Structure 1
Amino acid sequence: LCLLFDLLEQKENTLLKESMYLSTLARLISRYGRAKLTPAQLPEAQRKVEIVKDLLSSFPEHDYSLTDLATYVGLSPWHFLREFKKYTGLPPHSWLVQVRLQKARQLLKQGQSIAMTAQNSGFSDQSHFNRHFKKAVGVTPSQYLSTLNI
């Protein structure tokens, strides 16, 4: 809950905040609720997830909200979050970060500066970009650029 409250105070990352909020509520309800409900199977859910993946891949720099993505494919935010994770193995925010990193690597290879790459890939700032890049690739963007010049 402390992580959720700290996250909710941030200005950006709408998709992460909404996803974390719903996941936290679901966890609390499943753990402390009296009724044990089995989520209904949703027809065409995989196709709807693919539609959202195409949207996120086409415009990864946009700041999406979970509610907007769910509405786009006609699902509730909770069902969308559950189905997206079921079919991709990742929540929408984590999947979007991976798409942003792919775009960032392409931009860096094209010679774009690190600061512009961070901005054009949808990261809130260069520090945020550096942190995600190093976690995913194993080196900082500047180290990655130096390996490209060899």
Structure 2
Amino acid sequence: MISSWKNTRFDNIAFTSGENFTHSFPDHFHEEYTIGVSVNGIQQFNLLNKEFIVAPHSIFLIKPGQMHAHHPIADLGWSFKSMYLSPDFVDHLLKGSEIKADSAFVPVVQDEELFNHYINIHENKESDVEDRITSFLYSVYQRSTDNSLQASVISSSEKLDEIKAYLADHITQKLNLDTIAGKFHIDKFQLIRQFKKHTGVTPNVYLTILRVECARRLMNQNHSLVETAFEAGFYDQSHFHHNFLYYTGVTPGSFVG
């Protein structure tokens, strides 16, 4: 069971909570910074080509665009809380500090004081959260920043960045690998191999994740489910429902409910 709530006072900060969750989240990414905590249970967290076992009261940190996955251990279920912060909001919060949002950091941190700080923000999410989130970000970055991790980040070529941008600009169109390969002067099968090597997924899966992220954004802006499915590039409501549930663990109706 997952519940979600938005604080519209500050850039539509999204908060989610999951209780006794056994759903596996496959490889996916978000357009926002994702900061979450594991409340109960144990999960396997995959990020930057590494596997982490996340114990209760751990904090996990994910930058925009970073491919990651979550899997419960032995189907025992786990409970978590997450919040999603836009890049613009994070830049605003860190402005004037020595902390850089693009610094490399340890993806999983176990710190009881930071965990309690996070829970306080989540439990008081309807109030003015800007100062408390700023304080938390300062603390968690100072606790987790690790420049030695920079080499672990998968870098992509300029051409692959252009292909990803092309997919983002053509989200409502059906994927045509021959067209993309011709446009960027690359063999179609080389395109698939290189794209998966650098992103962890095929171009088709990447495009689906883009559509799911677009749908989340549109629903946060109060678009109807019918409008959202169409504008995010899903063929019909069934296609939208299936993929949204697969990648987020909730149905579109539950997300807006």
TM-score tier, shorter chain, comes to: 0.5 to 0.7
Q: What does residue range 1-150 of structure 1 map to in structure 2 within 5 Å?
A: 46-146=157-257
Q: Cα RMSD (Å) of the superposition? A: 1.2
Q: How far apart, CA to CA, are the structure 2 residues paired with 1:72 and 1:100? A: 22
| 1:103-142 deviation digits (Å, cap 9, x = unpaired) | 1011111111111111111111110000000011111001
Q: How far apart, CA to CA, are the structure 2 residues paired with 1:105 and 1:126? A: 15
- TM-score w.r.t. length of structure 2: 0.39
Is residue 134–residue 141 contact of structure 1 (8 Å, CA) maintained in 2?
yes
Q: Which has a greater percent of strand?
A: 2
Shift of 1:58: 2.4
- Higher Cα Rg, which structure: 2
Give identity over the alignment, percent.
32
AA of the residue aligned to 1:90: V
Q: How far apart, CA to CA, are the structure 1 residues paired with 2:159 and 2:174? A: 19
Is residue 62–residue 122 contact of structure 1 (8 Å, CA) maintained in 2?
yes
- What secondary structure sits across from 1:117 in the alignment? helix
Q: How far apart, CA to CA, are the structure 1 residues paired with 2:160 and 2:183? A: 10
Q: Which has a greater percent of helix?
A: 1
- What secondary structure sits across from 1:60 in the alignment? coil
Shift of 1:48: 1.4
Q: How far apart, CA to CA, are the structure 1 residues paired with 2:194 and 2:245? A: 29
Shift of 1:59: 2.7
Q: Which residue of 1 aligns with 2:143?
A: none
Structure 1 portions without partners, runs of 5+: 1-44
| 1:34-77 deviation digits (Å, cap 9, x = unpaired) | xxxxxxxxxxx822111010111223112220111111110011
- TM-score w.r.t. length of structure 1: 0.65
Q: How far apart, CA to CA, are the structure 1 residues paired with 2:159 and 2:178? A: 14
Is residue 46–residue 83 contact of structure 1 (8 Å, CA) maintained in 2?
no
Alignment length (residue pairs): 102
Runs of 4+ in 1 over 6 A off after TM superposition: none
Is residue 70–residue 80 contact of structure 1 (8 Å, CA) maintained in 2?
yes
